[in-house]
Structure 1
Amino acid sequence: MTGNSASELACARQPKPPRLFTLILLTALSVLPVNLILPSLPEIAADLHTDPALVALSVAAYAALTAFAEIIGGALSDRFGRRPVVLVSLAIFILASAGCALAGNIHVFLFFRTLQAAIAACFSIALVIVKESWGGQKAASKFGYLAMGWAVAPMVGPTIGGAVSELFGWRANFVMFAALGAIMLALAAHEIRDEAGVQRSHAHGYLASYRLLLGSPRFLIYAACMACSMGTLYVFLAGAPLVMNEALGGSSAKLGLYMGMVPAGFILGSYLAGRYASHMPIAGVLIAGRTLTCTGLLGGLALAVAGITAPPAFFAACIFIGIGNGLTMPAANSGILAVQPDLAGTAAGLAAAVSVGGGAVIASIAGLLLDEASTGRELLCVILIPATSALLTAGLAGLLDRRKTVAA
């Protein structure tokens, strides 16, 4: 066989990567169910003749189970391939959505709502597909565009869910989920292909894979940066309503409008990552994102110390939380997936769980320092703790990458 023939054969064995648009839709669908049904909770409770607090479990339990689904789904994709895990996750999601729509009592509803969390595995796997399809710094750029879809879906979800519920009833939301899942299943079946002839690694058992990743300094540093970044966001989300409610005259509409500045900042940061991350080292993007966050928060703190405590000044500083996270998450995910390429799915799922879980722990600890008597200045000081920690871990990531480059 000639060199040209071998090259042509190798190219023929490489499947065409899925469109980035398809992967953006996949990640958006994976997070859309988290809060789309929030406006429908009272209607669900009334229709199923149950306690509203029990219906609220459908949101809290779903959010908790997404981490489990990401960990398991990522590990399974390393062993059996990306395509089958995506297709099975989508199939379970479709059936679960139909089950929720047909549920006649709260127990059946909660059972199928729990199964809906299977879709969460698709988020981590989409990241891995991007990494394997584009690779290198281009992957960090593509992650930025995926993150935009991941951010927009939860923002518009409650609005869409409320409108659909009001027009057609709460069950229509789950019919919509099933329809979207079916469309996504058709797209995924057509576009997502595992490499022909690739044998998935069986060298590591599941527990051994987790030990290997958790024993890697690079994995731990990138995951810690993600957890501290998420913690920065969670502290803001928990603290801002406490300290700004009175200043806004108790207006929920105004509070929601101001708090929406941070997700908008995340979309901007994700766009910047998509636009420029391919031209910068991964650690450089991390450091830039964390520096922007700390600079913005310090600017807000300086204004507060100077006596400028109006809500616009506070929230203008906090928008840099979103911008920084929008830059951080795509870059950190790119670094995570490069730690152990044969365990990319496991790494993506584990990192997602660590970042969300770690962020929740940080927010819980910060909650002990805040109450309704806290001021915006005090909240900014508390937010700066995880924000500074994230900047330090970004700096450590830069040092590790520099040492790796020198050693190479």
Structure 2
Amino acid sequence: MMAGARTPPRLATLILLTAVSVLTLNMFLPSLQNMALEFDVDYALVSLSVGGYLVVTAVLQLILGPLSDRFGRRPVLLAGLAVFAVASLGCLLAGNIWVFLGFRLLQSAVIAGAALSRAVVRDMVPAQEAAAMLGHIGMVMALAPMLGPSFGGLLDQLFGWRASFVVFTLLGIGLFVLTWTDLGETNKTPSATFGAQFRTYPELIRSRRFWGYSLCSAFSVGAFYSFLGGAALVAGIEFDLSPAEVGIGIGSITGGFAVGNFISGRIAKRHSLAMLMIFGRISACAGLVVGLLLVLNDVVTVWTYFGCVVFVGLGNGLTLPAAAAGSMSVRPELAGSASGLSGALMVAGGAVLTSLTSALISPENGAWLLLAIMLASAAAGLWAALYVHRIDLREGVPA
């Protein structure tokens, strides 16, 4: 039997844990229409595999974060990966939409990889270094959601939609083995009891900085989730793209995300967390304003449309590492709970915006309305970043 790890993980392990958590959300998106045809159900019902999945991941993060503060990051991660591998196999073998949706919701246990990897980083290094390290992680792991929809679309064309879930099953097994052998426990001061842990929560919940960081994250990612909710329709109606080409379009936003994370990793130690968030929000808003103006002036091409969306990814790459590091630094001993609550807000907001976007856009209004919804979310993130900066000016930048 393989010996369990006792030392902190390598960077590559944290990258893979985070990447697969994101990959599971978007790799099979180009296949939704074909899945609806095979199961003989409406597209809206199959879309619950996205919206419902997001809701469950939001709830799970509220549970997994505190569990990792109490019992450690390692056992909670291993349990989540085991459930994910079994659930992926269930999706692969599902004979009807209800069985598929049931196992799809169980797949959400993989969110432990993203939520607890952030906490592991904060366990290992201080806030500014955590922002830089999260930037480096984000830069590399962004390749997964960028290439994922393209890969999923190609798998669908070659082998059918179930091929994506073969890949998920193998990834779940591989990540479990990797975590067992490489990720030792980093939470060196776990809570003695849940009672003792809960008594420290009010300081976290009452922190204006925590809510500023968390809301900035939620609105920043909300623009991305809005894009996921409407990109397939817009790409199909406006540009008549194939499933594989739709996947490339959906993946374009993460190209900017990789660049933003690269920049964040290089400059995080020289700027306050609030300023990094502001830089990111201005980038996202500027790109969307330009894109919306072009659409309203009947300039609608694949390059201009998806080109402006790249700036949302760039802005998120600058914003999210700083916001995550900041939210976990309010009470470092509750890094898991902070990561879980902040992550839950991101996913819950994403679920709302995905559903809202899907409900509101149509072939007639999709091109401009999708960008408008994304801009509203990005602007709300800018407001939250400015709020944190205002607190810093009044109370000083925390160490």
Tell me if TM exceeds 0.5: yes
- The answer to whether the aligner puts 1:113 opposite 2:115 as a matched pair is no
Residue 299 of structure 2 is matched in structure 1 by 309
Residue 227 of structure 1 is matched in structure 2 by 218
CA–CA distance in 1 between the matches of 2:318 and 2:168?
30
Matching residue's letter, 1:352? G
SS of match in other structure, 2:377:
helix
Contact preservation (8 Å) 1:27, 1:149: no
CA–CA distance in 2 between the matches of 1:246 and 1:226?
31
- The answer to whether the aligner puts 1:398 opposite 2:395 as a matched pair is no
CA–CA distance in 1 between the matches of 2:290 and 2:183?
45
Structure 1: stretches of 5+ with no match in the other structure: 1-14
CA–CA distance in 2 between the matches of 1:151 and 1:118?
20
Residue 199 of structure 1 and its aligned partner are, at CA, apart by 3.9
CA–CA distance in 2 between the matches of 1:369 and 1:88?
38
Contact preservation (8 Å) 1:144, 1:271: yes
- The answer to whether the aligner puts 1:137 opposite 2:128 as a matched pair is yes
Residue 164 of structure 1 and its aligned partner are, at CA, apart by 4.6
Contact preservation (8 Å) 1:41, 1:52: no
Matches within 5 A, 1:184-263: 184-195=175-186, 198-202=189-193, 204=195, 212-238=203-229, 248=239, 250-251=240-241, 260-263=251-254
Residue 123 of structure 1 is matched in structure 2 by 114
Matches within 5 A, 1:271-310: 271-300=262-291, 307=297, 309-310=299-300
Matching residue's letter, 1:113? R
Residue 9 of structure 1 is matched in structure 2 by none
Contact preservation (8 Å) 1:228, 1:362: no
Matching residue's letter, 2:299? T
**Higher deviation after alignment, 101-110 or 319-328:** 101-110
Contact preservation (8 Å) 1:78, 1:342: yes
- The answer to whether the aligner puts 1:388 opposite 2:388 as a matched pair is no
Residue 328 of structure 2 is matched in structure 1 by 337
SS of match in other structure, 2:396:
helix
Residue 12 of structure 1 is matched in structure 2 by none
- Provide Cα deviations, 1:199-255, integer angstroms capped at 9, x if missing partner: 43536577666655332211111111112212333445556677787664x445776
Number of residue pairs aligned between Structure 1 and Structure 2: 392
Residue 85 of structure 1 and its aligned partner are, at CA, apart by 0.5
CA–CA distance in 1 between the matches of 2:289 and 2:24?
35
Determine which of 261, 264, 275 is the counterpart of 1:270: 261
CA–CA distance in 2 between the matches of 1:168 and 1:238?
25
CA–CA distance in 2 between the matches of 1:125 and 1:296?
32
Residue 353 of structure 1 and its aligned partner are, at CA, apart by 1.4
Residue 169 of structure 2 is matched in structure 1 by 178
Matching residue's letter, 1:354? L
- The answer to whether the aligner puts 1:36 opposite 2:27 as a matched pair is yes
- The answer to whether the aligner puts 1:98 opposite 2:85 as a matched pair is no
CA–CA distance in 2 between the matches of 1:271 and 1:188?
25
Residue 72 of structure 1 and its aligned partner are, at CA, apart by 1.3
Query: Do the aligned partners of residues 103 and 355 (structure 1) sit closer, same or farther apart at CA in structure 2, a change above 3 Å counting?
Result: closer
Residue 13 of structure 2 is matched in structure 1 by 22
Matching residue's letter, 1:309? V
CA–CA distance in 2 between the matches of 1:147 and 1:280?
18
SS of match in other structure, 2:27:
coil
Residue 115 of structure 1 and its aligned partner are, at CA, apart by 2.2
Residue 317 of structure 2 is matched in structure 1 by 326
CA–CA distance in 2 between the matches of 1:197 and 1:241?
45
Matching residue's letter, 1:129? V
CA–CA distance in 2 between the matches of 1:304 and 1:51?
33
Contact preservation (8 Å) 2:8, 2:186: no
CA–CA distance in 1 between the matches of 2:132 and 2:104?
34
Select the structure of larger CA radius of gyration: 1
Aligned identity (percent) is 41
Matching residue's letter, 2:172? G
Residue 43 of structure 1 and its aligned partner are, at CA, apart by 6.9
Residue 56 of structure 1 and its aligned partner are, at CA, apart by 4.9
SS of match in other structure, 2:299:
coil
- The answer to whether the aligner puts 1:84 opposite 2:52 as a matched pair is no
CA–CA distance in 1 between the matches of 2:228 and 2:358?
11
Structure 2: stretches of 5+ with no match in the other structure: 1-5
Give the structure-1-normalised TM-score.
Answer: 0.80
CA–CA distance in 1 between the matches of 2:312 and 2:329?
26
Residue 278 of structure 1 and its aligned partner are, at CA, apart by 2.7
CA–CA distance in 2 between the matches of 1:313 and 1:56?
27
CA–CA distance in 1 between the matches of 2:272 and 2:203?
25
Quote the RMSD (CA, aligned, Å).
3.7
CA–CA distance in 2 between the matches of 1:274 and 1:326?
9
Contact preservation (8 Å) 2:218, 2:347: yes
